[in-house]
Structure 1
Amino acid sequence: MSDAIARMEQLVAELNRLNYHYYTLDDPLVSDAEYDKLYDELARLEKESGQVLDDSPTKRVGGELLKGFDEHRHLAPLWSLDKAQDKEDLLAWHTRVQKLVGDYNEKHPDHPLPVPSFVVELKYDGLTLNLTYRDGRLVQAATRGNGVVGEGILPQVRTIRSIPLTIPYTEGTIEVQGEGIMHLSTLEAYNQTAAEPLKNARNAAAGALRNLNPAVTASRKLDAFIYNVGYSDNVSFSDHQEMVAFLKDNRFKVNPFIRFCASIEEVAEELEQIVARRHELDYLIDGAVVKLADMRTREVLGYTEKFPRWAVAFKFEAEEATTILKEVNWEVGRTGKITPVAKVEAVELAGVTVQNCTLNNAGDIERKQLKHALGSLVYIRRSNDVIPEILGKVTEEADGEVVVVPEHCPACGSDLVMRGAHLFCENRLGCTPQLIGRITHFASRDAMDIETFSVKTARQLHAELGVRDPADLYDLQFEDLVKLERFGDKKAQNLLDAIEKSKSRDLASFLFALGIPNTGKTTTKVLADHFGSLTVVRAAHRDELVAIHDIGEIVADSIVNFFADPIMKESIDRMLAAGVKAEAGAPTAAAEALGVSVEDSPFNGKTVVLTGTLTSMTRDEAKQLLEAAGAKVTGSVSKKTDYVVAGESAGSKLAKARDLGVPVVDNEEELRRMLGMD
């Protein structure tokens, strides 16, 4: 047994070293297969011996469901920060600092404080973490709470692979602070296959870390930046730079953006740069933090009742506001899902006039205490250029009118059923919004690409010609169309030609057009590439689907249930009988048709990410060209990405590519040359 324990200790040390290089330094030392081999050996030895070492990476996957959170009293308070909304506020803070330093130096001429210098760091929009290490081991992790007492979330934090379970410093107890975050690229990848997409990165991180099931936390693939040593019983620092060096030496992930400034003018310039580049980052920030760099000065200036006098948070333009909730309407989607949409009193938010806000479902209304909120003041938030969401009521009183959750479909009157967290109308064949939504989606550009087709066209064909299913489109006749209002001979023939042309769309486009629940373009492309035939896809078993990378159990169940549905079976059979081919595209044929050479193409077999706006072609056209050249086009940047093609206004994906050292093609002439088109 001692030999087994010795080997386990050896494996744990090696795996933790590899994790540090992979997750903290972005510098992988071995292939995934080599890492998995070591990990599997460790897991086998743990099972055989019945022992798991404290710092074993197997503890990061999430364990038993917890019954609740225990309180944790921080060893030192976690302070809030005073806020500066603009440059004038920043200069006012600086004036206060200068006065305090001047007053002290006047009273202590023999031991004066140095001339103030500053450090500027990013202010992350995630969840504050307080990590306790005793004799080099992580023994507790907690939320900020009220600054004195937080919630213990150690099992959840263990799943964050950039947070070390052990550190080289073993000479006492320390507490370090940081921020738990979800990268925007990680959120995007998660939502591509999630049965319940996450609304934004901040809520995704906070919700995962305060989830009683650590396995949920692990599934979100969170990260953390550490920025402060809040307590230590044995180590001290002369300045901020020394503290940052200590954090790095102890394998904590420190954000590379730390700027040391000799004057407040330099600070102001740095803040302008951060504001200009904030949307290029692969994580959310809502401002920057300005601190005095000298630790002795911090100690002398001390704290008010709420804030340290030696630091200030520079807040960006408000992305949160308050307004009146006027009404909640319940809209019916193409899958029958009933979604509440809030109408609010118009308010300016981050340069945009907001009148509509998202509410995820009826449970969302309960959680945010909006049940009695009509006519009341509510908080709204606009994050990452998405439709604003309502965060909750401003007051806790039930002082508004009741938001009524429907029991019947607002469109067709059918009884609603609860599936998971959402209400659904199951009247698929008689609910007009579902029928129109399904037909419109089927004809859309990324699906069957029926030119000139629109929601308006779908409504007219449904109302006047009884089109109730995508298969009905292939039964349309010229004589029927020309009788319709605004349909002359040319428009009728153009629509029929576009419908005829759609019969040649490839398998991936057809699968996407069908609107299989919980699948998007990425998943349907994976299905088409893996199975290569509609017949095989339709007959695929759950186990076959789950075995495919990026397809989980929920998505697999959705696919199997969809193709087993008699209504869907009949619809697909009718389309095939009408001449829809839905064949897998042959890469060489596609390349030939697009004038692209696969042989010797630098993109052949490579993983490519598109970001930004291209001027000489659309993103879809670029994707087709790259795939025809043998590339796999994905939606998120990682260490496994071979190229990033960046157009104008490229944001977080471009920034992450540069951080990871991924080659960037940012010139469209160069892109065409690499594709062999010029």
Structure 2
Amino acid sequence: MSDVQTRIAALRDLIRGHDYLYYVKDKPEISDAEYDRLFKELTELEQTHPELMRPDSPTQRVGAPPLEALVKVRHEKPMLSLDSILNADEVLAFDQRMKRELGVQSVDYTAEPKFDGLSVELVYQNGAFIQGSTRGDGTIGEDITTNLRTIRSLPLQLVAGSGYPARLVVRGEVYMRLNDFQALNRRMTERGEEAFANPRNAAAGSLRQLDSSITASRPLVVTCYEVTSRSEGAASTHWQEFEDLSAWGIPVPLSRLRCSTIEEVITYHHETAEMRDSLPYEIDGVVVKVDRRQWQEKLGFKSRSPRWAIAYKFSPRKETTVIEDIAVSVGRTGTLTPLALLKPVEVGGVTISRATLHNADEVARKDVRVGDTVKIERAGDVIPAVSERVSVPGEQRAAPFQMPADCPICHSAVAREGAYYYCTGQMVCGAQIKGAIEHFASKAALNINGLGRKTVAQLVDHHLVRTVADLYRLTKDDLLGLEGFADRSAALLLQGITASKDVTLDRFLMGLGIRQVGQHIAKVLARTFGTLGSIMTADKERFQRVPEIGPEISSSLASYFSEPQNRRVIDELLKTGFRIESDTPSVGQNAPLAGVTFVFTGGLGKLTREDAARLVESKGAKVSSSVSKKTSYVVAGTDAGSKLEQARKLGITVLSEQEFSDLVQGEG
């Protein structure tokens, strides 16, 4: 048995090493046949001695029994987005802003490729991969641990003796190489299945499978680019983080560069853009980060993005084709969008047959018509758009495009709001009903698992659902009459619908699909008014007194809640047993923490930073990302950074987590 254990351990280490060389370094040292021989030997030994099986064995990347649903996971720290810029002047302005805010003459940066894939969070405990999740809404993602285990470039065990921390949280990007993507699409097409639109969609669709054996069959790759948390040994620079990750066996971008000036960043961007088409994977720009971690702490964050990093995007790819027709689509909120139906053209490896024309003013400005030759770009390398018309000598042009007077779906009257046209038949328009239900069930809103576009279309087309309130009257028999539903799938969807009745006020507001009300404004409304009833009884003038809400949003809110049919649907929803978690509103200067400003630094044990911020904001306080003389308290958790030192220098009161808890509970 001792010899068997030794051989199994040796085979595992050997195969892990060859996986790293092949999938991460792209430098295989043995033939496929030799690799298969080693893998087969390990598999047979583990089957003969199942008591020696370990979850981090290379043989465990083949998948596991299907899950009933993906479980939600709260991230240890928010997974934020990046502000995007497109030209060198904006990069230079970013550099000047960094120098000004830091009070220095020069700033070192790291520049790295921006992979076009799906963001994930990876958690390692004592060197073993224990959990992975999608980005989700930035705060809560989906547990895809089992699926991530199937990716061969992701180490299930960090390199022994490399000095990795006891606990490590890493952010990365899962994507698909271009040749693997084309091969996958070819196989799917040959099997009569619908092919993926692009590598990013293929990666996202593969990772969110309930059956991990499907994920295991897909050629996914992961590259990591940020340490979001580590229990000890924090690096002083982002560049050192890359070096640490690489030493631990975690794949990182190979073509990254450390830059001592912003001009080096611009040169790196130019050189990377030139070799973009020769790369084996899709990138849509480069990411630029202030290198020194202490400076990152000082610069802090905005609501959705760090102040110390930007995405320096590439110019969109463009190709030429002909507009065969201009159609008008009706969106979730009734907005009419003109679409160019194109003679198919390949742009960046993806065949494009239609492209957005945005709105009627854009069509007039670009003067594009049916039969015109136009340039097509993939804005952000995802959304196809018509960029400009190409003049052709001697062409006979069609008449200028006009928006329809009636909705192409329900024939209700079309009205105009600024640059946009919209259908007035909100409750009778099939396009709006389907879109409204999809939006209501989306992650950012009620988050109803299993209620996707195809199911929504069936529910509406079979006249089972006419408003979102009808979802909560569905029965198993209703669902069993739809394509793709059996007892188990019907029961799961009904469970998801029932579970959605417990919801926060901001998510409920988001789900209503009010024009111009997104996640941020929904949270502002929830914090300000506290209850749904208070919001529904407010008028336009009351809405407009709320910070961040201007005349257009105020009009949209007042119009929505004054519409009898909308109020009827909300009443019907509440009658089905909704339990809406209300926020306690701030009451101006009467709020218990009115006029107090908090800054949070380090990790909190009982609350996330977002939860702590939400708590004090509900009591009238403000939360800032940087320390100044106006700061009232700095709450210092574990691994507190430069903000703590700055607070001490300015003589600002520093609270422990317990002292903070006592204060907000009114005990301190």
Q: State the TM-score, normalized to the length of structure 2.
A: 0.49
Max Rg structure = 1
Q: State the TM-score, normalized to the length of structure 1.
A: 0.48
